[in-house]
Structure 1
Amino acid sequence: MSDPTIDRDADAGGPIQSRVKLRRVPLRTLLPNLVTLLALCAGLTGVRMAIEGRLELAVYLVVLAAALDGIDGRLARLLKGTSRFGAELDSLTDFVNFGVAPALILYIWGLHDLGHVGWVAGLVLAIGAALRLARFNVALDDPNKPAWAGAFFTGVPAPAGAIGALLPIYLEFLGTPRSPIGMPVVAIYVVFVAFMMVSPLPTWSGKQLGARIKRAYVAPALIAGALFVALLISYPWLVLTLVVLVYLALLPLAFAHHRRLTLRDRAAAGDASAGS
């Protein structure tokens, strides 16, 4: 019986080629996916560290996963190695790192004191991250978005939500005492972060940070970046707390900016229809 997957030359009587050919994948498309997998390893290892009682290291690894998540997309665009596979892998990784991992870390840290209520709060956080990522993937295919919409996310992005949800742990590491009254407040705060991720609230995406900057600002930007990393390493809990508080304070400004741009487009559309 002949192999149906192989064409045979009627004249030569030998196989010409297989119907299914394996394409060579450029190396530049693999590097961003490798960074994504490193982020996944960081997030999963953070869960292991939390189980072992090494909560500081667990939080470090979630923060590292968030940093790697910010690198892989930019690296893919820089190397022109974007792909549908990479986008799907990134979404699945983000769900684990910024939905499952912070929920389990928070539960192991203190939400377990609330029993079922604490577990439900963790579940809501993970579900919020999943819904947030699913909505983001669908929104990518929306052809009706204005050009400026790329500077905004709808809802708090999953990495920011994960970093923000861990705020109670930062505060405890800074010396804030844990109390029975405080843990229900933590559960409410975690649920609040989950709803912020799935809310229609516009937030700045931060993608403009990867754009070109003027040559005169290159040195100050490098110094500012180095200073931030040095402060994060030296005073991690204080810096992370300040980052979360500043981010929360900027949410109303992002909403006002988005509303102003929306009203400008509506006014321009109204003028165009009136002139036609």
Structure 2
Amino acid sequence: MNLPQSPNNAPDADDDLEPVGPRPRPKGIYALPNAITLSALFASFYAIVMAMNGRFETACIAIFAAAVLDSLDGRVARMTNTQSAFGEQMDSLADMVSFGAAPALIVYQWALKDMGKLGWIPAFVYIAGAALRLARFNVNIGVVDKRYFQGLPSPAAAALVMGLIWVVDDAGIKGVGRVDWAAWSAFAVTLFAGLSMVTNAPFYSFKVFGGRRSVPFIVLVAIALGIAVVSLDPPRVLFALFCAYGLSGYVIYGIKKSRGKPVSVIATSTDEPDEEGLHR
């Protein structure tokens, strides 16, 4: 016999509201990836201080160290499942300092300040290009073809400018502002790097390597040989590599254009009015 349920035996209304499955991970700040980001930020701060004291070679090495650390924090967060909105914002702000403000200030202190107000132009174009590039990257992060970067990545732009400084300083040339060819080279390279960050040229991202994707054994041999070559003369080899990378996006753009292939790296539909200007 089924007895009617009394009010005391009725199921609790709150039982139907209990979540099914694992609870969502609480939002928080994770120490390891953010510590790496802070280390990159300190390296860029250290670079600025060294440039103010005339130690430009040390400043360049510090910016390269910041670039290495910047490449690690996101990977460490994904490997340890410690991604967070806070970490993303922290990384973006640190990148603006490390690869936007710091290189602009260092190259201005190194060669452009003796040009007067004319020296402001490439330094400001560079720092503005870095800000615009990072903002566009954050907005388009979900719709860009992961094989390519839209515009020159800010770490590569910083490496291009810092590589020039390192090469010239390593050659023993001091007082660069009074050496016409060196000062105008700094002007041109800084302006090129700043403008390249806001172009639509596709620069290869190298994201197909590493992570969980396997690679042929010969790739590891090539990496080992590359490290050996860089160790022979780090300033010149690194500068040459980043010069080649800085031009590669325009080469890819020209090849795709000549073959009639789409040159935009935006992967979404062109039907959206807000994205009309992103598909040219």
TM-score normalised over the length of structure 1: 0.75
More relative contact order, 1 or 2 (CA 8 Å, 6+ apart): 2
Change (3 A) 1:215 1:237: closer
- Where does residue 187 of structure 1 map in the other structure? 187
- What CA deviation, in whole Å up to 9, does each residue of 1:177-236 have, x standing for no partner? 55224423421321121010011111112222223354752xx55554455445545522
- What CA deviation, in whole Å up to 9, does each residue of 1:12-71 have, x standing for no partner? xxxxxxxxxxx97788x3211111110000011110011111111110000000011111
TM-score normalised over the length of structure 2: 0.74
- Where does residue 58 of structure 1 map in the other structure? 59
Size of the aligned set, in residue pairs, is 235
Change (3 A) 1:256 1:214: farther
- Where does residue 243 of structure 1 map in the other structure? 241
- Where does residue 19 of structure 1 map in the other structure? none
The amino acid across from 1:193 in the alignment is: A
- Where does residue 75 of structure 2 map in the other structure? 74
- Give the distance between the partners of 1:216 and 1:138, measured in 2 at CA: 35
SS for the counterpart of 1:208 is: coil
Quick check: 2:99–2:158 contact (8 Å CA) kept in 1? Answer: yes
Larger helix fraction of residues: 1
- Give the distance between the partners of 2:230 and 2:33, measured in 1 at CA: 25
**Pairing 1:104-253 to 2, within 5 Å after superposition:** 104-142=105-143, 149-175=145-171, 178=176, 179-214=179-214, 217=217, 220-222=218-220, 224-229=222-227, 231-233=229-231, 235-253=233-251
- Give the distance between the partners of 1:232 and 1:173, measured in 2 at CA: 18
Change (3 A) 1:85 1:257: farther
- Where does residue 100 of structure 2 map in the other structure? 99
The amino acid across from 1:97 in the alignment is: S
- Give the distance between the partners of 2:210 and 2:241, measured in 1 at CA: 19
- Give the distance between the partners of 2:244 and 2:185, measured in 1 at CA: 20
SS for the counterpart of 2:209 is: helix
- Structure 1 residue runs of 5 or longer lacking an equivalent are 1-22, 264-268, 270-276
- Structure 2 residue runs of 5 or longer lacking an equivalent are 1-24, 264-268, 270-280
- What CA deviation, in whole Å up to 9, does each residue of 1:79-127 have, x standing for no partner? 1211111111110000000011111111111111111111332122111
- Give the distance between the partners of 2:146 and 2:112, measured in 1 at CA: 36
- Where does residue 12 of structure 1 map in the other structure? none
Quick check: 2:56–2:166 contact (8 Å CA) kept in 1? Answer: no
Change (3 A) 1:105 1:215: closer
The amino acid across from 2:73 in the alignment is: D
Change (3 A) 1:230 1:42: farther
Quick check: 1:155–1:199 contact (8 Å CA) kept in 2? Answer: yes
4+ residue runs over 3 A deviation: 23-27, 211-216, 220-234, 256-263
- What CA deviation, in whole Å up to 9, does each residue of 1:140-163 have, x standing for no partner? 244xx5xxx111111001100111
- Give the distance between the partners of 1:257 and 1:212, measured in 2 at CA: 30
SS for the counterpart of 1:153 is: strand
